Structure 1
Amino acid sequence: MSPSLTRPQPAERLPTGPGWVFEPKYDGYRALVECRGGIGRLVSRRGTDLTRLFPELATAVVEQVPDGSQLDGEIVVLRDGRLSFDALQERMAAGPRRAAALARSSPATLVVFDVLVEQGSDRTGESWTTRRDRLEVLGAGWRPPVQATPCTDDRAEAAGWMAALAPMGIEGVVAKRAGARYGAAGSWVKVKQRQTLQGVVGAVVGPLHRPEALVVGRWSEDGELGVLGRAPLAPRQSAEVGPLLSPPSAPHPWPDQVSAAHFGGDPVTVTHADPVLVVEVRADTAESGGRRRHPLRFVRVRLD
């Protein structure tokens, strides 16, 4: 299945000026969706075939998407009123044998935001506006679990989405150039909603006196220190924080190596710190198991 999926470039603010349109950014799995010869397929951005893991979506694609078409979209799962990446991961980890049962107990939704091929006609060379028109025609008769994403050309409305939809697990907004072909450089940018949070430094990557990154934790109501996330430091920030850290004054609740599940990468060897120094960080809304999946941004030390 081709073409490859367009990846939006990160930005700090929504772009201004004419010619931009805006869509919500979902916390899910990006997927290239195809209906060909009466068979529906879903393939991840990295080329993993997801079809057997989400049989309810594959069936819906066959029933609702014209044969010979390819769509660009996001697979999401709603749990307790918000998009749940944990629920999505559970669907992935369960494998094909349990897929049918999970499709009933934890159903997925396919949110479509682009038309790449329509009944054999390549649409990628056309403008976003033209492709959106085709999406609205195709999506007019869609029903759950397939739906077209909302969009707006009103920057103020998109900015409102950033705050209003964050509690539902919407990560932010993707801005797209209305006149651009699919895959044009710089035509898609993503802006994430960020929250300011406080936590304690439970460990660092590197030595305490010159940390490369902080491993920030938060105390639960029952007194357990959980990992919130990792905040990389610039040299100036490291020089500021290092002298304020000290070794643990009691047995530390964390292991010497923090698992990959906490950071979305390889396991990380850490140096424990006395978990008393309070810091302020900025984080996007993507979370899993109470931790933030993406790196935190160090803001400042809180000594008050």
Structure 2
Amino acid sequence: MDLPVTPPIEPMLATLARELPTGPLRYEPKWDGFRCIVFRSGDELLLQSRNLKPLDRYFPELREPLLRLLPDRCVVDGELVVPRDGILDFDALSERIHPADSRVRMLAERTPARFVAFDLLALGDDDLMAASFAERREALERAMRATSPPVHLTPVTDDPATADDWFARFEGAGLDGVVAKPAAGPYAPGKRTLVKVKHQRTADVVVGGFRWHKDGQGVGSLLLGLYDETGTLRHIGVAAAFAAKRRRELIDELAPYRPAEGETLSDHPWADGDGMTGTPRGPSRWNQAKDTSWEPLRPELVAEVAYEQLQGDRLRHGARFLRWRPDRDPDSCRYDQLETPPPAELAHLFAV
């Protein structure tokens, strides 16, 4: 491609904070989608993922609008999102990563994606990566002055109060939080020079099973559940990322809840059978070779976990184990304990 910045380029990354930083910063909403760097040179177009792989075949509906709305030669960093029913639907976005071209094209019509731009790495013959973010943002605004859906320019502010308002108000639209960017900072591929502030809450959950760590030396993840309004224990996600010492400790802590020799736990709520939706079985969408086998536990053990947000009836990201809650009755671990953010108007953000 005839560009001053050529693929692949590692995207600039962020570190996690629990409070909004202040200083000579620019703030943006944190979009909940797939990171995507768009390389455009005339009729040549490449959509590059965070892990440096091409995304073009999964989002054919974006080729025409990106060629029509982006400058003739440019490199733009942004996010692919799928809005549906007024919120960002990450599950619908994930379904697009499918090996069958016919399914991808069907989903492109049913749940079309949008591209939200938030940085400009190159324009024409100019490599902008060494320029400050403030300069790159001004250039991006000029380059995308005439943009329209499904290509958008993310809003930006230097006012912490406005960023706080975005953090609180737009979670209901499915956004992840807020990103803070140094106004004077260059584009630093692969470096965590940004700061992301994400929503985090706690919940008491039933531990209904576990998976062994891939090294076979301890517990890799805990399978978490909540009871719905019908009294069914639904699998909502996992808690993982334990240190090696903690993985070994968990073996002994889970032992009293594992089936005795010869016991099958056939009445386990996630056992195979008709109507057992939401079980932790099934292949990984991202890695078909990944071992997703699991071992059941009697659903009597309650843990407190930290989580960021709910997507439908499941955790959007993995939870973080905090502590055991022997004082809690598993039957009390219900969805109604979770905080539900009020709905927000996603159209407002797309209109900014």
TM-score of the two chains, using structure 2 as the length reference: 0.74
Of the structure 1 ranges 98-107 and 251-260, higher mean CA displacement relative to structure 2 is found in 251-260
2:315 aligned partner, one-letter code: R
Question: Which of 198, 212, 233 is equivalent to 1:192?
Answer: 198
Measured in 1, the distance between the counterparts of 2:270 and 2:80 equals 34
Alignment correspondent of 1:242? 253
Q: 1:299 corresponds to which residue?
A: 322
Does residue 284 of structure 1 match 2:312? no
Q: Which residue of 2 aligns with 1:90?
A: 95
User: Deviations 1:68-98 (Å, cap 9, x if unpaired)?
Assistant: 1110011100112211112112233274445
Task: Please name the residue that 1:254 is paired with.
Answer: 270
The partner residue of 1:179 within 179, 184, 202 is 184
Determine whether 1:2 maps to 2:7: yes
After TM superposition, give the deviation of residue 205 of structure 1 in Å: 3.8
Deviation at 1:228, TM superposition (A): 1.5
Moved more, 56-65 or 41-50: 41-50
Map Cα deviations across residues 199-221 of structure 1 (whole Å, 9 max, x no partner): 211013459xx856422112233
Mapped partners of 1:63, 1:8: distance in 2: 28
| CA distance, structure 1, for counterparts of residue 39 and residue 246 of structure 2 | 49
1:1-304 equivalent positions in 2, closer than 5 A: 1-2=6-7, 4-14=9-19, 16-93=21-98, 95-183=100-188, 185-205=191-211, 213-232=221-240, 233=242, 242=253, 246-247=257-258, 251-254=267-270, 258-259=281-282, 261=284, 266-285=290-309, 287=311, 290-302=313-325, 303-304=327-328
Q: Which moved more, 1:187-196 or 1:128-137?
A: 187-196
User: Quick check: 117-126 or 53-62, which moved more?
Assistant: 53-62
CA 1:161–1:196: 2 relative to 1, 3 Å: farther
How far apart, in 1, do the equivalents of 2:203 and 2:287 lie?
20
Residues 15 and 193 in structure 2, CA contact (< 8 A), matched pair in contact too? no
- Residue 183 of structure 1 aligns to a residue whose secondary structure is coil
Amino acid across the alignment from 1:226: R
Looking at structure 2, the residues matched to 206 and 91 of structure 1 have their Cα atoms a distance apart, in angstroms, of 29
- Report if the CA contact (8 A) 1:199-1:217 is conserved: yes
TM-score relative to the length of structure 1: 0.85
Query: RMSD across aligned C-alpha pairs, in angstroms?
Result: 3.2
**Equivalent-residue separation in structure 2 for 1:190 and 1:167 (angstroms):** 18
Deviation of 1:57 after TM superposition, in Å, equals 1.5
SS at match of 1:273: strand
Is there any run of 5+ residues in structure 2 with no aligned partner, and where?
A: 1-5, 260-264, 273-279, 329-352
Q: Does structure 1 retain, via aligned residues, the 8 Å contact 2:206–2:303? A: yes
- Residue 10 of structure 1 deviates from its aligned partner by 2.6
Deviation at 1:227, TM superposition (A): 1.8
CA apart distance, 1:268: 4.1
Mean CA deviation greater in 58-67 or 45-54: 45-54
On the 8 A contact 1:211/1:242 being kept in 2, the answer is no
CA deviations on 1:29-56 (whole Å, 9 max, x unpaired) are 1111122123333222223322233233
Alpha-carbon spacing, 1:38–1:198, altered in 2? closer, same or farther (3 Å): same
1:17-38 residue CA offsets vs partner (Å, 9 max, x unmatched): 4122211111211111122123
What secondary structure is seen at the aligned counterpart in 2 of 1:11?
strand
